[in-house]
Amino acid sequence: PKPWFLCKLCQVVWNKHDISMKIGIVGLGLIGGSLGLDFRALNKHTVIGVSRRPETCAKAIQRGVVDDAHTDITFVASADVIFICTPIAYIASTVDQLIPHLSSTTILTDVGSVKASIVRTVEPLWPNFVGGHPMAGTAESGIDAALSKLFVDRAYVITPTQKTLPDSIAMIESLARSLHSKTYICTPDDHDRAVAWISHLPVMVSASLIEACLNEPSDDVLTLARTIASSGFRDTSRVGGGNPELGMMMARYNRDEVVRSLKAYQTQLSTITQCIETESWSELEEILQHTQTSRSTFL
Ligand code: NAP
C-alpha cells in the first residue's frame, strides 16, 4: 500500500479510539489510582471506580482519581472499558461478580503482574477480555500511593490469545499509549517467563539478601554494616523491601517460572561460590567481565 493510504488507515484507527469513554476501575490502589489520575487528566473520559472500603472511595474522589466511586461492584458496570486493578488473587472473582451486570460490548482488562493463570481463568468467563500489565510501580501501596504520570515511558505489556478480539486489543493499546506508555504485545506464557527474570526473581534475590544480612550473628558487625551501608545496598535491597502481598502473589501465581529462574540463579551462585573457594580468579574475572559488558547491552 502507498504511504498516504497507511497514514489514512492510522488516522481512521486513531480517530476510532480518540473518543471520550466511560472508564471503570476496580481496586483504587497504587496502580488503579494512578491510572485514574492520568485518564482524568486527559480531560475527555469519565472515570468511575470501585473499591472495598468507603474511605478509599472518598479519598479517590477527593484526590481527583475518579469522577465518582462506590463500594458496590455494579457501579462500574456501565463503563465501556473496565480495568481490574485488585490484587491478583481477586481478579477472577471480580470478573465473576461483574459479568451478570455487563453489556456484551464491555471490554474487561486487568493489570496483574502475572498473566498466564489470569488469562486462562478469565478468558472463558468473558470473551471480551484483554490481559495487560503496566510495568510501573513503587514500594508503596493503597490510594495514597497513587501517582500521576506513573506510566510515562514505561512498558505496558498486552497479552492477547488467538481468541482475543483485535478491536479490543487495539482499544487497550490506544488507551495505554494515551498515558505515554510503550506498548508491547506477547503471549501470556512469554510474559510470565520474561517477568520472572526481570521482576519476580529480583524480588526473591533481594529479599534473600536482606534476610541473609540480618542473620549476621554479631550484633556489633550488624550495627556497623547498617551504619556504613550506602547506595550499593540500597539499590540491591530495594525490591526486596517492597509490598509483601505483591511478592507473595508473584510467587504463587507464577510459581513454575519463579522456581525455574531461582534454580538457574542458584546454579550461577554455586559457580561463583566455587570460583572464590578454589581461588579460580581468572574464571571469576571472566564471569564479571561478561556481566559488565552484557548488562549495558541487555538494558
Ligand atoms: P494496592 O496498592 O494494594 O491496590 C489494590 C487496591 O485494591 C487496594 O487499595 C484495595 O482498596 C483494593 N481492593 C483490594 N481487594 C479488592 C476487591 N476484592 N475489590 C475491590 N477492590 C479491592 O495494589 P497495587 O500495587 O495497585 O496492585 C494492584 C494490581 O496491580 C495487582 O494485580 C498487581 O499485580 C498489579 N501491579 C502492581 C504493580 C506494583 O508495582 N505495585 C505494578 C504493576 C502491576 P480497598 O481496601 O479500598 O478495597
Q: Pick the residue whose CA is nearest to atom 1 on ligand 1.
A: 29
In ligand 1, the atom with minimum distance to the C-alpha of 249 is: 34
Give the Å distance between the CA of 151 and the centre of ligand 1: 16
**Could you say which DSSP state residue 247 is in?**
H
Chain CA centroid to CA 162, Å: 22
Q: What is the pLDDT of residue 19?
A: 85
Instruction: List the alpha helices (DSSP H) in the chain.
Output: 3-17, 30-41, 54-62, 91-98, 116-122, 166-178, 188-195, 201-214, 219-228, 231-237, 244-253, 255-277, 281-298
Q: Pick the residue whose CA is nearest to atom 22 on ligand 1.
A: 27
In ligand 1, the atom with minimum distance to the C-alpha of 52 is: 48
3-state secondary structure 158-219: ECCCCCCCHHHHHHHHHHHHHCCCEEEECCHHHHHHHHHHHHHHHHHHHHHHHHHHHCCCCH
Q: What is the pLDDT of residue 139?
A: 79
Q: Pick the residue whose CA is nearest to atom 33 on ligand 1.
A: 112
Q: What is the pLDDT of residue 34?
A: 98
Q: What is the pTM of this model?
A: 0.91
Cα separation, 253 vs 123, whole angstroms: 16
Q: Pick the residue whose CA is nearest to atom 40 on ligand 1.
A: 137
State whether residue 25 is helix, strand or coil: strand
In ligand 1, the atom with minimum distance to the C-alpha of 245 is: 3
Phi, psi of 212 (to 5 degrees): -60, -45
Give the Å distance between the CA of 50 and the centre of ligand 1: 11
Q: Which of 246, 253, 254, 258 to mutate to test the pocket of ligand 1 (most atoms within 8 A of CB)?
A: 246
Continuous segment of H or E residues that includes residue 22: strand 22-26
In ligand 1, the atom with minimum distance to the C-alpha of 71 is: 20
Q: Pick the residue whose CA is nearest to atom 31 on ligand 1.
A: 87
In ligand 1, the atom with minimum distance to the C-alpha of 86 is: 7
Q: Pick the residue whose CA is nearest to atom 14 on ligand 1.
A: 86
Q: Pick the residue whose CA is nearest to atom 4 on ligand 1.
A: 29
Q: Which of 30, 74, 253 to mutate to test the pocket of ligand 1 (most atoms within 8 A of CB)?
A: 30
Residues 93, 85 contacting (CB under 8 angstroms): no
Tens-of-pLDDT digits for all 299 residues of the chain? 444 444 444 455 555 556 899 999 999 999 999 999 999 999 999 999 999 999 999 999 999 999 999 999 999 999 999 999 999 999 999 999 999 999 999 999 999 999 999 999 999 999 999 999 999 988 789 999 999 999 999 999 999 999 999 999 999 999 999 999 999 999 999 999 999 999 999 999 999 999 999 999 999 999 999 999 999 999 999 999 988 988 999 999 999 999 999 999 999 999 999 999 999 999 999 999 999 999 999 98
Query: 132-134 and 155-158 as β-strands: parallel, antiparallel, unpaired?
Result: antiparallel
Residues 69, 42 contacting (CB under 8 angstroms): no
Q: What is the pLDDT of residue 16?
A: 54
Q: What is the pLDDT of residue 14?
A: 52
| CB-defined site of ligand 1, < 6 Å | 26-32, 50-53, 56, 85-88, 90, 94, 111-113, 133-134, 137, 141-143, 145, 243, 246, 249
